[in-house]
């Protein structure tokens, strides 16, 4: 078997792409990658310069295939956004600048025929969209103060006065009933300050980016 480097180079020069989203060099290499791979010993007729070109295109192919399959994926990072990434800060972008991303977006992120926005994940946790949450929904609070309606049903015990029964006959004075306090509604004392409490699990903050191209 003979590896025809000139034919591969011609494909590269003529821009005969297998996939229009790949570079012409990467597309050309895809035609022969299954034969070439990294086994230079199989192709003694290839010069070192030609082999370097093939390896460069192979690396480019791997990068582009990996990137293309990840467009639209969101990932946390501790680095500045790369050239093919957008920070998830709610910003709006033009369709023409990121056509591959625009083409696969859910409708909630498309603003109109020419623009879209990325989700704003600053200061937020991520929850899976489904029956309870639509894509791009947001909500929640860092801290919360409970209202009376949010407390569990409960009661407080207290002492109340009980009246003595009148055991004497009609018109006979009853000394046990003299001077009894009037029965009235009683309340327990107030307690608690109503301060807001922490509403988050343990956390570590990182930036989120979306792969855009």
CB atoms within 10 A of CB 31: 14
SS3 of residue 35 by DSSP: helix
Choice among 61-70, 74-83, 188-197 with the minimum mean pLDDT: 61-70
pLDDT number for residue 70: 81
Choice among 41-50, 117-126, 141-150, 158-167 with the minimum mean pLDDT: 158-167
What are the sequence ranges of the domains in the chain?
5-70, 74-138+203-211
pLDDT higher for 61 or 165? 61
E strands present in 36-117: 74-77, 85-87, 92-94, 115-117
Measure CA of the first residue to CA of the last residue in the chain; give whole Å.
Answer: 37
Question: Percentage of the chain surpassing pLDDT 90?
Answer: 29
pLDDT number for residue 67: 59
pLDDT tens for each residue of 39-56: 665 666 677 787 777 777
SS3 of residue 61 by DSSP: helix
pLDDT number for residue 34: 46
Buried b (16+ CB within 10 A) or exposed e, 139-173: eeeeeeeeeeeeeeeeeeeeeeeeeeeeeeeeeee
């Amino acid at each position: 078997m003979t590896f025809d480097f000139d034919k591969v180079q011609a494909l590269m020069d003529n821009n005969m792409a297998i996939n229009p989203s790949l570079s012409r060099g990467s597309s050309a290499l895809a035609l022969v990658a299954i034969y070439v791979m990294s086994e230079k010993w199989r192709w003694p007729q290839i010069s070192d310069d030609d082999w370097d070109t093939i390896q460069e295109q192979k690396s480019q192919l791997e990068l582009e295939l990996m990137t293309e399959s990840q467009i639209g994926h969101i990932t946390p990072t501790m680095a500045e956004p790369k050239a093919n990434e957008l920070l998830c800060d709610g910003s709006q972008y033009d369709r023409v600048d990121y056509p591959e991303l625009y083409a696969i977006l859910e409708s909630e992120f498309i603003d109109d025929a020419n623009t879209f926005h990325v989700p704003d994940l600053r200061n937020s946790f991520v929850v899976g969209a489904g029956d309870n949450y639509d894509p791009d929904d947001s909500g929640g609070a860092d801290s919360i103060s409970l209202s009376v309606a949010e407390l569990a049903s409960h009661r407080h015990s207290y002492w109340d006065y009980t009246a003595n029964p009148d055991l004497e006959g009609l018109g006979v004075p009853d000394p046990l009933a003299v001077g009894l306090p009037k029965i009235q509604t009683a309340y327990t004392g107030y307690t608690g300050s109503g301060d807001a409490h922490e509403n988050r699990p343990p956390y570590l903050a990182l930036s989120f980016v979306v792969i855009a191209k």
